[in-house]
Structure 1
Amino acid sequence: MEKAEAKRVLERAREMWEAEEWLRSAELYEQVLAHYPDEEPSAVWWYDAALAYKFLRDWPKAWALGREAAARSPRGEQDPAFWNLGVAATIQRDWATARDAWEGFGISVPAGEGEINGAFGPACVRLDTGGEREVVWIQRLCPTRGRVMNVPATQGRRFGEIVVHDGEPTGERTYNGQSVPVFDELLIFEASPLPTLRTTVNAADASDVDALVASFFARDFGAEPASSFHMICACCSEGRVDWDESGTPTHGGSQTVWLAAPEAEARQLLDAWAEGGERSWSGLELSA
């Protein structure tokens, strides 16, 4: 490919990029890169092609081209080529490459080999399953993975599943004075074995409901009373939400509680809780 032709192909690749024709754009970049992999601007071409495959959720291609982009990018300067490679390598379970990518970006990860399971603090993830969108809290295990710490109301989703999220925040939540980002989910990395159950509880006051939630979390299970959910519009969800002010407080009375636990253990915990005062429960069933 002559340089004049390469220039025309690059212009077309950028046009396709602006039109969000990701596959065609990436293919055109690859045509040029096959002949000019190490020109001065080639790092940008590798990056754009890898990013296009990321948008397409073609993780093997995002990983392969991302490695080329990162190899031509400065280390330790938070270059996005390393971030995108870290995401793609994580999804491919290429832990050696993922570890090197995070270090290249400028993030320290726990020493060792294999899967990264660190303590990267809390964050929120916006689940997206066929149009249903729900923001849940996670405990981050690495820069791009986190364990879901709520019992989701969205059908088919579970407490304890591990999700991969994108790196650009699309919202903010504050709780007890701490501000955390909201990331968009990319995919479920590891399913949770815990089923989602639903029951109706009657409690004298909020402290009784809090005691029920605490008893489940003490066993590494989950519990989510209906009074802890609140609905907000998409625009507000992508902005800053103060959980202390906007969150609906837990209350007593009768309400639905979603539980994440094996049914037998859930019944035992509910029975033990009901013995603690003016408390009762009924109608335990799998959540649809």
Structure 2
Amino acid sequence: MRKSEARKLIGEAREAFDAGEWQRSADLHEQVLAHFPDEEPSAVWWYDAALAHKFLRDWEKALDLGREAAARSPRGEGDPAYWNLGIAATILRDWATARDAWSGFGIELPGGEGEIDGRFGAACVRLDTDGQREVVWIERLCPTRGRVVNVPVTGGRRYGEIVVHDGEPKGERVHDGTAFPVFDELTLFEASPLPTLEVTVAAGEAGDLEALLALFTEHGFGAEPASSVRLLCACCSEGTHQQEREVLAGAQAVSLAAPEPQARLLLERWAGERAIGRSWSGLAGVG
């Protein structure tokens, strides 16, 4: 292949990329890279080819091409080639490659080998299941994985599941004056064994409902009052929003994440702590 032909194909690959034709873009990039793997701009070509496969959710190819991109990129300078390689390696559970990728990006990791289980702070993830989208809070375990700490209202999603998210924030949520990024979900990494239940509770005071939420949290379960759920359009969801859990007195639905026998025991305990002002009914599974 002549360099003039390579330049033409790279131009076509970029046009395909801009048009969202990920497979065509990847194929054209790889066609050129087969002949010119180490030209001056080849690091960008490897990166774009790997990125196209990321958008295709072809993680094996994203990993293979991502390795080539990272090998031609500077370490410790926040180069995105390492970030995308870290994502692909994490999804494929290639922990040695993932650890090297995050280090190459410039992130300090907890010591040891194998799966990364650290404390990377709180963030939000926009879950996406069959077109249903919901922003939930997570505890970040590594640069791209987090454990869901809300009880999702989206069918089939669960409190405690671990998701892999993208690296580019799409919106933010502000809590107690601190802004937290909202990332898009890439895939469900680990399912949660906790079923989702729904119950109607009557709380004489807001503090009564707070006590119920705290009780479930203390036992490693989840509880989410309907009053804390806000509906936003897709455009607004990617903006900046205040995110405060609104806990109200009165009767309302509460989503629970717990096995039904334990949920029933905790509800009885909660209601029995005060003779007046606390009651519950209609405990049932959801979805």
TM bin, normalised by shorter chain, reads over 0.9
The alignment status of 1:77 with 2:74, answered yes or no, reads no
> What secondary structure, in the 3-state scheme, does the structure 1 residue paired with 2:224 have?
strand
Match of 1:212 in 2: 212
Count of matched residue pairs: 285
For residue 236 of structure 1, report the CA deviation from its aligned partner: 2.1
> What secondary structure, in the 3-state scheme, does the structure 2 residue paired with 1:118 have?
coil
Match of 1:250 in 2: 247
Deviations, residues 132-177 of structure 1 (Å, cap 9, x unaligned): 1111000000000000000000000000000000000001111112
Distance in 1 (CA, whole Å) between partners of 2:87 and 2:40 is 25
Match of 2:103 in 1: 103
> What secondary structure, in the 3-state scheme, does the structure 1 residue paired with 2:46 have?
helix
Kindly report which structure 2 residues correspond to 1:175-254, keeping only aligned pairs within 5 A, or say none: 175-244=175-244, 249-254=246-251
Kindly report which structure 2 residues correspond to 1:260-279, keeping only aligned pairs within 5 A, or say none: 260-277=257-274, 278-279=277-278
The alignment status of 1:27 with 2:13, answered yes or no, reads no
Distance in 2 (CA, whole Å) between partners of 1:274 and 1:111 is 45
Match of 1:127 in 2: 127
Match of 1:46 in 2: 46
Distance in 2 (CA, whole Å) between partners of 1:266 and 1:24 is 51
Match of 2:67 in 1: 67
Q: What is the RMSD computed on CA atoms of the aligned residues? A: 1.0
Distance in 2 (CA, whole Å) between partners of 1:227 and 1:183 is 24
For residue 35 of structure 1, report the CA deviation from its aligned partner: 1.1
Distance in 1 (CA, whole Å) between partners of 2:112 and 2:38 is 32
For residue 83 of structure 1, report the CA deviation from its aligned partner: 0.5
Distance in 1 (CA, whole Å) between partners of 2:7 and 2:170 is 35
Distance in 1 (CA, whole Å) between partners of 2:210 and 2:152 is 18
One-letter amino acid matched to 1:143 = P
For residue 235 of structure 1, report the CA deviation from its aligned partner: 2.4
Q: With structure 1 as the length reference, what TM-score do the two structures score?
A: 0.97
Deviations, residues 193-241 of structure 1 (Å, cap 9, x unaligned): 0000011111101110110010000011000011111112222211111
For residue 8 of structure 1, report the CA deviation from its aligned partner: 2.1
> What secondary structure, in the 3-state scheme, does the structure 2 residue paired with 1:192 have?
coil
One-letter amino acid matched to 1:185 = E
For residue 19 of structure 1, report the CA deviation from its aligned partner: 1.8
For residue 5 of structure 1, report the CA deviation from its aligned partner: 2.1
Match of 2:283 in 1: 284
Distance in 1 (CA, whole Å) between partners of 2:206 and 2:231 is 20
One-letter amino acid matched to 2:19 = A
> What secondary structure, in the 3-state scheme, does the structure 2 residue paired with 1:90 have?
helix
Q: Percent identity?
A: 68
> What secondary structure, in the 3-state scheme, does the structure 1 residue paired with 2:70 have?
helix
Distance in 1 (CA, whole Å) between partners of 2:169 and 2:9 is 33
Distance in 2 (CA, whole Å) between partners of 1:10 and 1:159 is 45
Distance in 1 (CA, whole Å) between partners of 2:231 and 2:14 is 40
Distance in 2 (CA, whole Å) between partners of 1:50 and 1:8 is 20
One-letter amino acid matched to 2:273 = G
One-letter amino acid matched to 2:285 = L
Distance in 2 (CA, whole Å) between partners of 1:210 and 1:150 is 15
Q: Which runs of 5+ in 1 are unaligned?
A: none
For residue 15 of structure 1, report the CA deviation from its aligned partner: 2.0
> What secondary structure, in the 3-state scheme, does the structure 2 residue paired with 1:126 have?
strand
Distance in 2 (CA, whole Å) between partners of 1:210 and 1:236 is 29
Q: Which runs of 5+ in 2 are unaligned?
A: none
Distance in 1 (CA, whole Å) between partners of 2:14 and 2:203 is 61
